[in-house]
Amino acid sequence: MSAKAVSKSSKPGASKEPSAVTKLYLFAYNAGQVVGWSYILWQLVNYYILQGPEFRAQVTLWEYTRLAVIIFQNAAFVEILNASFGLVKSNPVVTGFQVFSRMMVVVGVVMATPTGKVSPGLPIALLAWAITEIIRYGYYALNIVKVVPHFVVFLRYTTFIVLYPIGVTGELLCFWWAQSYARENSVWSVVMPNKWNATFSYFGFLWIVMLGYIPIFPQLYLHMFAQRRKILGGGASSSPQKKAK
């Protein structure tokens, strides 16, 4: 979920137009994320296309992209605060689930295990994330200034059809590579006995999160199709000012 422009409504009792300071903040946040994810996309292109095998033999993809990914992916935590303080119309609980799922991949999987860093799912996930976020944050930034070209609206509500499944595939591959390491090593786990009298299995936690994709992803995916019908289907809710999620 991203920081969303709040559209002015003509209905009585609707929330008032956000202040100029709020708009400036939201625009800066979304525009900054566009710049950040564009840089990550450029890094992917440079790593796999512009550079030769000698370069890739010296540095892994994670070593090359980690700083930008850590900064701009974890910066999405701000969106939970934006929703919680009413700066955007997002549900803070739903936003929290969506933000923490990505943060879990970056912090709880890739950063936490050596196998996650070299998973074939990492470039897949980063590519899908980068393209998705450039379009999504760009849409929100333009929506704030009420200048949203139709092609941007079309991309926002069409590219997810392919990019969401690709991204989820990459994420799950990262989890799979991480759980193989966690199974053979007691990393990030707490075993009895200890002063807290509690136990925690990182290996089991990874599997719980992975299995959680089964009921959650279809709901989010179908929700985006419903939004696509509203925005692009010519219905009463076809205004590009409608929020995406």
Cis geometry, peptide bond prior to residue 193 (ω within 30 degrees of 0): yes
Task: Extract the tokens encoding 75.
Answer: 């910066």
Q: Which of 74, 144, 60 shows the shortest CA–CA distance to 102?
A: 74
Is 137 an annotated catalytic residue? Answer: no
Q: Tell me, what amino acid is at 210?
A: M
Q: How far apart are CA 32 and CA 41, in angstroms?
A: 14
* Residue 93: how many other CB atoms lie within 10 Å: 11
Out of 25, 39, 164, 213, pick the active-site residue: 164
Out of 171, 181, 202, 221, pick the active-site residue: 171
Is 184 an annotated catalytic residue? Answer: no
Question: Which residues does the annotation mark as catalytic?
Answer: 164, 171
